[in-house]
Amino acid sequence: MAALQFNLQTTDTLSKARAGVITTDHGTIETPIFMPVGTVGTVKAVTQQQLKQEVNAQIILGNTYHLYLRPGLKILEAAGGLHQFNGWDRPILTDSGGYQVFSLANNRKIKEEGVVFQSHIDGSKHLFTPENVMDTQRIIGGDIIMAFDECPPYPSDFKYAKNSMELTHRWLDRCINHFNNTTDKYGYTQNLFPIVQGSTYKDLRTESAYYIASKNATGNAIGGLSVGEPTEVMYEYTALCCDILPEQKPRYLMGVGTPWNILENIALGVDMFDCVMPTRNGRNAMLFTSKGIINIDNKKWENDFSVIDDGIDCPMSNYYSKSYLRHLMKAKEYLGLTIASVHNLAFYLWLVKQARAQILAGTFTSWKNEMVVRLQTKL
Amino acid sequence: MAALQFNLQTTDTLSKARAGVITTDHGTIETPIFMPVGTVGTVKAVTQQQLKQEVNAQIILGNTYHLYLRPGLKILEAAGGLHQFNGWDRPILTDSGGYQVFSLANNRKIKEEGVVFQSHIDGSKHLFTPENVMDTQRIIGGDIIMAFDECPPYPSDFKYAKNSMELTHRWLDRCINHFNNTTDKYGYTQNLFPIVQGSTYKDLRTESAYYIASKNATGNAIGGLSVGEPTEVMYEYTALCCDILPEQKPRYLMGVGTPWNILENIALGVDMFDCVMPTRNGRNAMLFTSKGIINIDNKKWENDFSVIDDGIDCPMSNYYSKSYLRHLMKAKEYLGLTIASVHNLAFYLWLVKQARAQILAGTFTSWKNEMVVRLQTKL
């Protein structure tokens, strides 16, 4: 089996958008790509069958923090890793757990060694270090695993941001060292992606991007954005990072975002995205469609028997009506959560597939400019 | 389009079990059959696609009380009936709403005219009469609709049971009269099934069964059982009713039951069943399998990576492991509810399909006696 490869096919002439193909031991991923988030080993309310047949997901995420606590490493290892455990046989990316641990706010303490935190489930104390987070992700068995980083809040003052970035860099070196001294557990290759930090300071971001680029990883990530900063600031720092990170490696912008955020970041040179938005917002009655945004709780959909979205290629989005989905959501039926989640994810996957086709056809920028307006329309 | 037909294919020689085929304008149903309950227009946590591809459901139920309140008749009529509304294009049976209304206990009042009750959603007052319940079921559009009856509690004293049965019979005549004076709304034929009542009194049950049989309906139902009486009493009264109800019409035992209840009642001559048990118990971690009962919350399944049930033909039951399903249930993930519900329903449909094959092969009784023991085994 072989390390992750990235075949860059085309770069747009009017923007920095790229189309490529990532190859992993669990199959290929056509970029740009959106990765559904499977927090606790499941994309919430969606079956693995639906992820393939309805959503066309090519890769999904697992969250190290959640999986470490439940079902725990013993079970995941006995199962033969997350792919075997949940029956998802395409690529998986796991985060490092850092982001979740820092979100615990008062229940965690950052030290040079790592982070001590309390479980949100039973209050038990745990320590995450760069080394044991590599071990944990080895056991979970993601095809792509992430370095243990600190994601500073927005805004952070310069001193905090600088110290945090330097800690992230030291942790990265420990991650790489430990990763290189350990081996793949299940017969396929795991790949470590480092993460650019540096908050919203140009010199820190620049320094961090160069530092990450120097590690010559098979792919690189941009963290610490989409954490509350204005959208224009996010775009500014994504652009800065993309211009420094190596062209021949995939670039992953973590935790982004709305459909229009994704299109704008594709234009800046990002290849990979993940976000809980399609599933979380779906469960709260917000639908993203090819024609704009729908609040399906709104009374205007009560008698609208047209299908959810005939503009995309998802069978379920072309099967169930807006009126039926509204009824299910009002009646708090589980099926409503499933249909809304499947639809929103299918829409995200449809969107990046269209973006890729437009890049390959050389028509991305004009299409993107039109879509960014259309997708934000409130229907 | 044509009224419901029942083609009785075989009757077992050692029991009264029958195999037949029901034909409706939405397709055929092979009996004996189990009908998943789709309370508010959805079988809880299961998609219509899963009902076809995983469960092999041939007919589902809708609950008149729930559908009348939400989404309401205006929307159902505008949609063109429940089939159009929820996208289920195979047969649908609707109950009369009687059972739910009587379950409201203190929030309803029974009169000769009908029942006044308060909505469990907003406390609003409503009146169900035999006539308007026919109108409501005409609008919902079930292929099979049920007479408006009173289901007396168990135990009921003789006087209450007799009065209740007589009221049910008077209501039945009003139902039939109104049904015959109204027409199918959506271009396919609806069929009215009357319901035997009479609590657990032999003379009342006998009188009611003869009364119902005399109406020459396309099918007949047995109500008022599985409401708390001992299992042997249920079997005794099912047998009594089956022996009186016409042989050439399908017999529907309402609200039953466990897998072994279903097998024993098939042996007594019942053709159709419905129950919330597979979905409700599934959501509470209880799995019915071809090898016995599993409480998937039990720690013994934590490291059991075998599939949920390799003894049945459901793809999902043969895909996900017990360990994974246990994890999902412990983590309170929606996917756990879906997998457990799909599995349990698929098991019920598998069971009645096996029963049918055994009846046709002339081997039903010995198979049934073995299965009744095996299915109750606690694994």
What are B159-195's pLDDT values in tens digits? Answer: 999 999 999 999 999 999 999 999 999 999 999 999 9
Q: How many residues does chain B have?
A: 379
- What per-residue confidence (pLDDT) applies to B101? 83
Which chain B residues are closer than 8 Å to A337 by Cβ? 334
- What per-residue confidence (pLDDT) applies to B190? 98
Inter-chain CB proximity A333 and B42 less than 8 Å: yes
Q: Would the pLDDT of A105 be above 70?
A: no
Question: For residue B287, how far is the Cα from the chain centroid?
Answer: 19
pLDDT-derived band at A1 (thresholds 50, 70, 90) equals confident
**Calpha distance A52→A315 (Å, rounded):** 12
**B324 part of contact set with chain A, CB < 8 Å:** yes
Beta strands A92-94 and A108-110 are: unpaired
**Calpha distance A53→A47 (Å, rounded):** 10
Q: Is A203 a catalytic residue?
A: no
pLDDT-derived band at A100 (thresholds 50, 70, 90) equals confident
Q: How many residues does chain A have?
A: 379
Burial status of residue B230 (CB atoms within 10 A of its CB: 0-12, 13-18, 19 or more): exposed
**A314 part of contact set with chain B, CB < 8 Å:** no
Q: Would the pLDDT of B54 be above 80?
A: yes
Residue with token string 């034909």: B23
Sign of CA dihedral B136, B142, B147, B151: negative
Which chain A residues are closer than 8 Å to B328 by Cβ? 40-42
Could you tell me if B268 and B239 are in contact, meaning their C-beta atoms sit under 8 angstroms apart? yes
Could you tell me if A339 and A329 are in contact, meaning their C-beta atoms sit under 8 angstroms apart? no
Q: What angle do CA B144, B145, B147 make, to 5 degrees?
A: 140
**What are the pLDDT digits (tens) for B102-135?**
887 678 899 999 999 999 899 999 999 999 999 9
Q: Is A274 a catalytic residue?
A: yes
- β-pair partners for A22: A6, A29
Token pair for A90:
């395409």
Distance from the Cα of A78 to chain B's closest Cα (Å) equals 7
**B49 part of contact set with chain A, CB < 8 Å:** yes
Give the mean model confidence (pLDDT) for residues B246-263. Answer: 98
Residue A157 φ then ψ, to 5°: -75, 165
Q: What angle do CA B315, B319, B323 make, to 5 degrees?
A: 140
Inter-chain CB proximity A335 and B47 less than 8 Å: yes
What class, spelled out in words, does domain B5-276 have in CATH?
alpha beta
- What per-residue confidence (pLDDT) applies to B36? 98
Q: What is the mean pLDDT of chain A?
A: 97
**Calpha distance A341→A326 (Å, rounded):** 14
Give the mean model confidence (pLDDT) for residues A207-227. Answer: 97
Could you tell me if B328 and A42 are in contact, meaning their C-beta atoms sit under 8 angstroms apart? yes
**A224 part of contact set with chain B, CB < 8 Å:** no
Please tell me the pTM assigned to this model: 0.98
- What per-residue confidence (pLDDT) applies to B193? 98
The residue of chain A nearest to residue B53, with distances taken between CA atoms, is: A49
- Please state, as a whole number, how many other Cβ atoms lie within 10 Å of the Cβ of residue B214: 10
- What per-residue confidence (pLDDT) applies to B326? 98
Which chain B residues are closer than 8 Å to A296 by Cβ? none
Which residues, at least 6 apart from B137, have a Cβ–Cβ distance to it below 8 Å? B64, B94, B96, B145, B146, B190
Domain boundaries, chain A: 5-276, 282-375
- What per-residue confidence (pLDDT) applies to A141? 98
Which chain B residues are closer than 8 Å to A297 by Cβ? none
Could you tell me if B31 and B22 are in contact, meaning their C-beta atoms sit under 8 angstroms apart? yes
Q: Determine what percent of chain A falls in helix, strand and coil, rounding each to the nearest 5.
A: 45, 20, 40
- Taking alpha carbons only, the member of B301, B308, B292, B305 closest to residue B342 is B308
- What per-residue confidence (pLDDT) applies to B105? 64
The residue of chain A nearest to residue B335, with distances taken between CA atoms, is: A45
Give the mean model confidence (pLDDT) for residues A337-345. Answer: 98
Could you tell me if B250 and B31 are in contact, meaning their C-beta atoms sit under 8 angstroms apart? yes
Is A252 within any annotated ligand binding site?
Answer: no
**Calpha distance B78→B211 (Å, rounded):** 37
What is the residue type of A87?
G
**What are the pLDDT digits (tens) for A230-282?**
999 999 999 999 999 999 999 999 999 999 999 999 999 999 999 999 999 99
Is A122 within any annotated ligand binding site?
Answer: no
- What per-residue confidence (pLDDT) applies to A315? 98
**A89 part of contact set with chain B, CB < 8 Å:** no
**What are the pLDDT digits (tens) for A297-317?**
999 999 999 999 999 999 999
- What per-residue confidence (pLDDT) applies to A98? 86
Inter-chain CB proximity B46 and A335 less than 8 Å: yes
Give the mean model confidence (pLDDT) for residues B1-17. Answer: 96
- Which of A12, A274, A304, A309 is catalytic? The answer is A274
**A318 part of contact set with chain B, CB < 8 Å:** no
Nearest CB neighbour to B86, from listed A43, A48, A324: A324
**Calpha distance B162→B31 (Å, rounded):** 32
Which chain A residues are closer than 8 Å to B43 by Cβ? 335
Half-sphere exposure of A293 (CA within 13 A, CB side): 15
Half-sphere exposure of B178 (CA within 13 A, CB side): 20
Burial status of residue A205 (CB atoms within 10 A of its CB: 0-12, 13-18, 19 or more): buried
Half-sphere exposure of B69 (CA within 13 A, CB side): 22
Nearest CB neighbour to A86, from listed B41, B316, B324: B324
Torsion angle (degrees, nearest 10) of CA A209, A215, A219, A221: -30
Is A97 within any annotated ligand binding site?
Answer: yes
**A70 part of contact set with chain B, CB < 8 Å:** yes
Residues of B annotated as part of the active site: 95, 274
**What are the pLDDT digits (tens) for B271-297?**
999 999 999 999 999 999 999 999 999
Q: Would the pLDDT of B1 be above 90?
A: no
Q: Would the pLDDT of B70 be above 90?
A: yes
Inter-chain CB proximity A42 and B321 less than 8 Å: no
Sign of CA dihedral A78, A80, A82, A88: negative
- Taking alpha carbons only, the member of B140, B110, B145, B146 closest to residue B128 is B110
